Structure 1
């Protein structure tokens, strides 16, 4: 487990204590929890035994030795089923490590993956692909930490897309009727009316400031969320560029 932290260079991950705001702090903690899941997997692969791996994880997390641990595999499986009933825990949202039950669940699912059985060339094919396992783990952790990260990230992504799209449409200093219709289709009538009102009373530096604020906030997101923004804005740019070329013809 610890060797994998070194191998994957997890020490280079951003330090949550150096975050610029709350959402960046929460995203850095989310990244830290993901690093622990990755390290657990490598430790499991190294040991080759799921029960021994889980016992070792319990020893490390509790600080107790074998003589003080009565590890009942079936009992912990029962507790995993109870995870479905656990609601958001504010304290876990600020934790660098997932709960032990989350980590145990993650390791069991990983042991049931196609990729795991392919790697060890077992007689089994596995139940899930790794992408499905990762999604299940993410959902499992969210049942404990709550949905604040997703809600905050979505708000930042939505604003970045809105202001980014507007900036693309305003490249020619105009917000044509057709562009307004496309904008409304993407972001809704209410947002379009608000933007038109702002354009009527504001000069371009004000709009530029709004765009920069949106992208400063977007810089606090993790790479996967930033890639979503870039992909969508590329689509909007291509669409706008195609329209402009047709207009010139």
Structure 2
């Protein structure tokens, strides 16, 4: 069976990529990256050859056959090399330099714990990034590259780039599901990656998790009551996981997916219906309060700035990278303004009190954005964690939002 991957690409990814590629700043950033690389490659591959195990067919015919089968299905003709990294976490990545083969890395723990069907999902996902050329728009460097302290890409475009990244992951998930041919294997593989668990006591069910996020994915204007704690619990597991679960589940019921696998389409969903679900769900992940011009947005932006400084200052001093992270979220006006930390921290209580009037979903999203500031210098200290937990508690947001967002970010499906 051979498919055309483009017909399965998430519509929102295509739209966003077309938009950002027309942006002058993005084109300038990509040109600068090409200048840095100088048309050369092989550095990443050379490092892997010197420090990890390249998995040949003689060592693992099963993995070699899985890669070959996925490539055949996708019509992907470029050479693929597989490397095993000595990691105790589930992890898989795919990368291609300017020149050379596509590099697929799998952690040793993933190879030990994943079933053949789960491996097909993971390998298919990674090859999905390759067939859609997601490396042609490298992130996050495209959004953050600068010259003489001035970013090439404007903040609104930067936010669209990150939105494109999220959509790109969903496109890769679809390819993983097609290669696996089994929604249950996709579910178990996905949740092993997301949770780090391989216990038989936990059997993820894709449809069950999709139903769990129904209230989160419902259009906000259709809800007449405040977001409840059950909705928040689901949302706080990780800003990407609930949307990804629902997208995989919905695609597994779609007419194109079932047709591609030669299965009955009697009760199938139209692809248009699946795209509408995804686009609605993805909107819930976009930080609209950072761009909107209204009182609620102003309240949240002021609190994010003050709370972000409180988190950054918790570990003994505010690092430039932490101020830069706040600037990327809020705009250059905040990044360039002089910081009177004691005075601003004195405003924290009042700004938290004012924010209690805004929807719980927005408060939870703000707490998640605090983790971006905390992790900007490469780590999250215990002191920073305690401050975030305290701010979350005072905003009536469960502290698990902080923990699960950080944990989720440590286990991406790249």
Which has the larger share of helix?
Answer: 1
Which has the larger share of strand?
Answer: 2
Which protein is bigger by CA-based radius of gyration? 1
- The TM-score, its normalising length taken from structure 1, stands at 0.50
- The TM-score, its normalising length taken from structure 2, stands at 0.31
RCO greater where, 1 or 2, for CA within 8 Å and sep 6 or more?
A: 1
